[in-house]
Structure 1
Amino acid sequence: MKLKSAIIINLLSLLLVISGCGDSHTTPKKESSSSIKEFTCYSNSVKDTFYITVQLPLNYEKEPKKRYPVVLLTDANFYFPMLAPIVHQYEKGGLLPPLILVGVGYKSFELMNSLRVRDYLYPQAIPSDEMKAPGGGQRYYQFITNDLLPKIDSNYRTEMNTRTLLGHSFGGYFSLFAFQQQMSGKRNDFKGFVSASPSLWYNNNYLFKLPDQLKRTLLKDTVSVFLSVGSFETPKEWTIQPVENMAKQLDNKHISKLKLSTIVYNDLDHMDVGLISFIRGMEKMYAKPAQ
């Protein structure tokens, strides 16, 4: 048990730095380039302020009538500075369509660990988790769906039916939890979920109720899930095996309209999996139909 906690604590010690959303408390911040917008957003559900960074497509201003898919990125303080230029470079090379990348982050690196534990997990941690987590995932989900997404849609030219959610580790857990909440609420906020190295061991495998729920729920539209893990992640019983088991349960003939992609990356450890999964997941979500 202590090993699995050490994995998370060690990797989370490395993560995140800045960002901000907006309701009536929105405060614009400086723009680092013409395609980057930054602002803060206070959440009534979480009772805290988030830092949101938005990267617009390269030709956003030149094509004023065009609308774009939205990709929402958790752990943005860490991942946004790496992923944003890749998204633009892939756009230039025709490997991805033009996308609006939205990063959700926190005020500082120092605050990141406790706040992401607060926000990404649900329900409250149990003793076997050997960690303290209040289980704020539902409140964070409400912030994303009720506050942030409408704000993004009102300020930018978005395609509301092509959103994708990206998450790694605890963020990967939240990505699948958001899918579960979306089904429970009969919502359609996201069409794609990337879950990289999700912490499926949390709360006695709580998220393994997802496959059974999918069997009982008729999805209106096709939903894509990209599930990944690294072959060097340890201990395997807490990292690789749960992902493989989840994939097997999701790959079920009784689950309709679920497009599942699963990969175990050779020679990759936990912290290597996030960025490559986001890129591959977006390629899967937005691949052009075969001619």
Structure 2
Amino acid sequence: MKIRATIFIVSVFLHFGKILFAQGNNSDLIPPQVEIAGTQLLKIHSSIVDQEYDLYINLPRFFNDTSKTFPVIYLVDAQWDFPLLNAIYGEQYYDGFLPEAISIGITWGGENPNYDDLRRRDFTPTKIRQDSFSGGAEKFLSFIKDELIPFVDSKFKTKPDERTLMGSSLGGLFTLYAMFNETDLFNHYVLTSPAIGWDDGIINSYEKKYSEEGSEIPVKLFMAIGEYEYVKGFQDFAENLEEKNYKGLEMKTRVLDGIGHSGTKAEGYTRGLQFVFEKTPFVVNHDILDKYSGSYQVNPSFKIIIYRDSEYLIAETPFNGKIILYPESEKDFYVKGQYLRVHFKDDESGKITGFRVEYFGGGETVSKIN
């Protein structure tokens, strides 16, 4: 009786085991992975590094407009930070801080890449005795210059004179290394928590060599560090750059309150992109600004009053109160913190007839009534 019972139990176990095994191998029951909408993956093999790289790509909203070309934002450590960049870009574009741009995240391809080892290989400029993987930044930078950028430029409608490089930690160290060794390759550099202490502060030697050979760094540079990191070393490095008074260098630094090493990227990348893409102030003659003063009819129940206040225009609306219109040309104006642009129109005699307003998701033409 015991033997029969045992056989029955084993049979039941095997039966349900087969069912569970079948369920475990049923791909229909495996939840799909989350993908970032609107992005794509390309692969490139570097003969310089002898490495396959994955490129995570996000194209701008109006990429299919054949009349446009776009700046490119290059980000290292895409395996971790591309979703963050994608979110930051979308938010800042919506708020009017960033232009339409192509985002390219760079990471390592192949089967089961060891990110820690590969980061130390590609991002560090010198080999140190205690790390056999280190010291490959020169090759990685050559890959970016001679293989990656030509590849991207051949596939997408890019602006060759508008490139941004971003990185954090060892990626921040590499970003500085790139600035001192291939300065003109990018015109914007954004980095957080740079590993300035690598190899006894070797990045200072690259800066010193650069200063001995030239006096210009015609780029925008943003650097941030967390309050709980080694702030003094960061500040000493930044102060040294300021004291050199490099021609063309626009630099901004920030110590982020209450933040540690890994947490600097969200705010740091946001502030950095805002800074490097900040519009250059444009001054319009007061007589021209005064021409735009008057009343504008949006619809029968909605009227806007515009007048000059010093170097700007003020638009008064029934709902939003006073809005400052900042000039970017004699006829084009924008609002900070909003995707809102205004282009004034005139007739053949130069009389202002109205304006075209563009906002996120649409636009309309508004007539001047007096």
Number of the residue aligned with 1:252: 243
Number of the residue aligned with 2:58: 55
- Which segments of structure 1 move beyond 4 Å, counting only runs of 4 or more? none
Q: Which has the larger radius of gyration?
A: 2
The whole-number CA distance in structure 2 between the counterparts of 1:90 and 1:110 is 32
CA distance 1:216–1:75, change in 2 (3 Å): same
CA distance 1:210–1:195, change in 2 (3 Å): farther
SS in 1 for 2:61: coil
Number of the residue aligned with 1:159: 159
Task: Please tell me whether residue 289 in structure 1 is matched to residue 280 in structure 2.
Answer: yes
The whole-number CA distance in structure 1 between the counterparts of 2:37 and 2:227 is 40
Number of the residue aligned with 1:272: 263
CA distance 1:70–1:243, change in 2 (3 Å): same
> Which one of the candidate residues 227, 231, 239 is aligned to 1:240?
231
Question: For residue 273 of structure 2, what is the amino acid of its counterpart?
Answer: M
Number of the residue aligned with 1:191: 187
> Which one of the candidate residues 220, 225, 247 is aligned to 1:229?
225
Question: For residue 186 of structure 2, what is the amino acid of its counterpart?
Answer: F
1:1-291 alignment, distance < 5 Å: 35-61=38-64, 63-107=65-109, 111-127=114-130, 131-183=131-183, 188-218=184-214, 222-233=218-229, 239-291=230-282
Question: For residue 179 of structure 2, what is the amino acid of its counterpart?
Answer: F
Count of aligned residue pairs for this structure pair: 247
The whole-number CA distance in structure 1 between the counterparts of 2:37 and 2:264 is 30
Return 5+ residue gaps in structure 2 as ranges: 1-34, 283-370
Q: Which has the higher helix share?
A: 1
State the 1:161 CA deviation.
Answer: 0.7
Question: For residue 67 of structure 1, what is the amino acid of its counterpart?
Answer: T
Q: TM-score, normalised by structure 1?
A: 0.79
CA distance 1:116–1:33, change in 2 (3 Å): closer
State the 1:255 CA deviation.
Answer: 1.9
Q: TM-score, normalised by structure 2?
A: 0.63
Verify the 8 A CA contact 1:71 1:99 in the aligned structure 2.
yes
CA distance 1:229–1:132, change in 2 (3 Å): farther
Q: Which has the higher strand share?
A: 2
Question: For residue 274 of structure 2, what is the amino acid of its counterpart?
Answer: E
Compare relative contact order (CA 8 Å, sep 6+) and give the higher one, 1 or 2: 1
Residues 196-244 of structure 1 deviation map (CA, whole Å, 9 limit, x = unaligned): 10111111110002442343344667211111110112xxxxx322211
Verify the 8 A CA contact 1:121 1:135 in the aligned structure 2.
yes
CA distance 1:110–1:148, change in 2 (3 Å): closer
CA distance 1:254–1:81, change in 2 (3 Å): closer
Verify the 8 A CA contact 1:75 1:104 in the aligned structure 2.
yes
The whole-number CA distance in structure 2 between the counterparts of 1:125 and 1:182 is 23
Verify the 8 A CA contact 2:216 2:249 in the aligned structure 1.
no
Verify the 8 A CA contact 2:217 2:247 in the aligned structure 1.
no
User: What is the aligned-residue identity percentage?
Assistant: 24
Verify the 8 A CA contact 1:222 1:258 in the aligned structure 2.
yes
CA distance 1:196–1:221, change in 2 (3 Å): closer
Verify the 8 A CA contact 2:40 2:57 in the aligned structure 1.
yes
